[in-house]
Structure formats: C-alpha cells, structure tokens
Amino acid sequence: MTKSRAGLTELEGAILGVLVRAPSATAYRVRRVFQESRSAEWSGSAGAVYPAIRRLVTDRLIKERAEADARGTHTYDLTRAGKDAYERWLCDVTRAVGPGVDPFRTRAPLWAGLSPATQRKLAKDLKAELDEQREALTRTLNKLDAGDEITARLHIALLDLRLKWIDDQAR
Amino acid sequence: MTKSRAGLTELEGAILGVLVRAPSATAYRVRRVFQESRSAEWSGSAGAVYPAIRRLVTDRLIKERAEADARGTHTYDLTRAGKDAYERWLCDVTRAVGPGVDPFRTRAPLWAGLSPATQRKLAKDLKAELDEQREALTRTLNKLDAGDEITARLHIALLDLRLKWIDDQAR
DNA sequence: TTACTCATGTAACAAGTTACATGATTTA
DNA sequence: TAAATCATGTAACTTGTTACATGAGTAA
C-alpha cells in the first residue's frame, strides 16, 4: 500500500510538476515530456513513470479518470492533498539546495593524480565537450518554452562555471 | 559473474579513487572516507560499498589480500586492469560533464507557478539556506586535505551561482 | 493497407538505501 | 573490564534502467 511515505521522490515531484503545467495529461504524455526535454535527468522510461503514477494514485495525490476510449486511456489530475504534497516538495529548501549526484565534482579532486600530460589532454577534451554542449544548448534556447529555458540557462551557467574552473586550474 | 560490464558506476569509480589515494585500505576504511567526506554523494552504506568491492574483485580490477588477523581483515589494491579502468572512468568527459541529478534545476522552472507571496518567501528561505551552507563550507576549508578542498571550492562556486540566480530572478 | 503515433504495461535486472547481526581489537 | 572503534557482511526494500509485448487510432 506504500502507506504515505515520508516524501516524494524527485521523479514523483517532477511528475506532479508536469501535471500542474499540463492538466488532465495521460501517463504517456507525462513520459513524453521527460523524453523530449533535453534537460530531464530521467529517461522517462515506462518502467519508472507508470509505477510512479500508480504510487501517486494509491497515495491519493492524483486522481485517475478513464476516457471513453477502447484503448484504456486514463488522464490524471492533482487532488487537494496532491497540491499540498507538491508544494511541500517544491519548497523543500534542504533538498533543493542539496548537491545531488555530480559526476564532475566526484572526479575533480582525482584529476590531480593523473600525469601532467594526461591532465593537459583531459583539460582540452573537457573544454571541447563543454563548449560543444554550451553551443548546442544556446542554439535551442529560442525554441524552448519558458520552463525549459530556465533549465537550459541554469545548465549553461553551470557549464560556464566549469569552463572557468578548468582555466583557473591550468594557470 | 558480472561479466566485464560496459563501465564503472560512479560509486565503483569513486572507490577506485579512494584506493589510489589510500593504497591497501580495507573496505571499512573506504566506507569511512565516504561517510566523513561532507561532499560525498553517497552515504557510504555497507550495503553499497561491500557489494561494489566484491564486484571489483570479481572483475579483477582490484586484488584482495588477507591480513594475518583473526577478524578477517582484507586490504585492497588496484590491479593493472583496475588502473586502466579507473583512468578510463576518470577521463570519460561525456560522463564528467553530464548534469547528473540536480534537485535545484529540477525545481527552478516550477517555482514560477507558485503564488508571488510563496515565491518571495521561498527566495528568502533559499538564500538563507545557501548562505548557511556557504559559511559552513568556508569555515571547514582550511581543515581539509587538498582533494576535499577542491570539492568544497567547487561546491561553494555552485552555491554562489545559485545565489546570484535567485537575485537575478527577483529583479 | 501500411506505417506511425498514442497508450498501457510487465519482466528481468542494477544498484542504491536502512537496519540488523556478529565478532575482534584497542583504549579509557 | 567496559566502551568505543575496527571490520565484515546480509536482508528487505526502493526505485530506477532497458527491453519486450500488446493493441487502438490516425494519416499517407
């Protein structure tokens, strides 16, 4: 029964976020949002989204409505309790500010152990990759909706931070 | 048998990193490094570390040596193949630059949907939390070894980036 | 009618989490 | 000798992944 767990997972919170911005969406549509958004940290895999939506229904955070449809289409909307849980998740400053899993920060202290030649090559490769991603993101910027643009701009700022850090290390 | 998987997980890579910096460490000592390092993204739980080390031994990336000891102490060191796999993991620019799971970026585009009053309160709470973490990190800075200091400085830069972003939004 | 998109889901697996359990060694 | 630390590990659970399977509706 998953009896009212402590809090929402990141995916559950993000699903509620999608449902707030796209009311009465199907699970399929929620998946698509994750799949299409280049910023999504999740693959939007069926094996994650369908079970997560099932949990949210079980916990009465969203309500399910069956469409008059032979393929069993269902749409979802937040309940009152769902809106409360969503806002709690969204305003959880401790979690919002937490570092999460950052592969760059995990590796950074270890790079010093590489040979100088390898370090130089790595710095070059990293800059190339960062520049490429920065350009790709910048190009899409004007094609994005407001929400995705915020995510993209934050991502660009992070890339810039890393570029600057690599330059500082080289000096 | 976990037959030579595609690549190392982040935890496996980080474990090799600990073993490089602290040769012939025990699994217990590796755990402690994760538990003590305030930057660690993992809890250093036994249920994660022991199985991961077992996998690394099975894949012959580390070799195990039994100490002459009644409590079954074992120490670990990288094999030649382990050093290669570690360097590949460490220099994997695609993964190093990847965004990982960032709770801040997940939430940022959704904050605009909150009421103006809630947004103002949230901005204040976020700044307070960011400031507090920044100060706490700064205080520890001179007590850290070189590796942890790099991680901490990267973390501080990230906190500053977010503080600046919040200020920019408010304007 | 063929192919694509919409729509739902399961199965096998991977890799973490917390909590529990056990015993040796060291230090106060 | 009592308590803390060192040391190893398992069990139950959570939540993600990829790959597979199925079928309805729509557009070429």
Per-residue pLDDT of B74-127, as tens digits, reads: 999 999 999 999 999 999 999 999 878 899 999 999 999 999 999 999 999 999
A14 close to A42: Cβ distance less than 8 angstroms: yes
pLDDT of residue B97: 93
Mean pLDDT of chain B: 93
Contact list, B102 vs chain A (CB under 8 Å):
41, 100, 102
CA dist list (Å): A137 to A104, A123, A132: 19, 21, 9
Which of B14, B20, B133 shows the shortest C-beta gap to A97? B133
pTM, entire model:
0.93
Report which of A106, A146, A98, A82 is spatially closest to residue B8, judged by C-alpha positions. A106
A61 backbone dihedrals φ, ψ, rounded to 5°: -95, -20
The token pair at A23 is 């009311």
Is B151–A108 a contact, with Cβ atoms under 8 angstroms apart? Answer: yes
For the ranges A74-83, B6-15, B149-158, the one whose mean pLDDT is highest: A74-83
pLDDT, block means (10 residues), chain A with 171 residues: 70 97 97 88 94 97 95 96 97 91 94 97 97 94 90 94 95 81
Q: Half-sphere exposure of residue A21, counting CA atoms within 13 Å on the CB side?
A: 18
Least Cα separation, residue A16 to chain B (angstroms): 10
Q: Give the CA-to-C1' distance from A45 to C10 in angstroms.
A: 13
Q: Give the CA-to-C1' distance from A43 to D11 in angstroms.
A: 30
* Pairs of residues, one from chain A and one from chain B, whose beta carbons lie less than 8 Å apart: 153
Name the band, by pLDDT with cuts 50, 70 and 90, for residue B4. Answer: low
Q: Give the CA-to-C1' distance from B29 to D6 in angstroms.
A: 9
| Cα–Cα distance for residue pair B107/A10, rounded to 1 Å | 9
Task: Please list, in sequence order, all residues whose beta carbon lies within 8 angstroms of the beta carbon of residue A71, skipping any fewer than 6 positions away.
Answer: none
Q: Half-sphere exposure of residue B81, counting CA atoms within 13 Å on the CB side?
A: 11
CA dist list (Å): B62 to A99, A131, B1, B83, B143: 29, 35, 15, 9, 31
Residue A48: nearest nucleotide (C-alpha to C1'): D16
Question: pLDDT, tens digit, for every residue of B31-75?
Answer: 999 999 877 788 999 999 999 999 999 999 999 999 999 889 999
Count Cβ atoms below 10 Å from residue B129 Cβ, excluding itself. 17
A150 → chain B, closest CA residue: B109
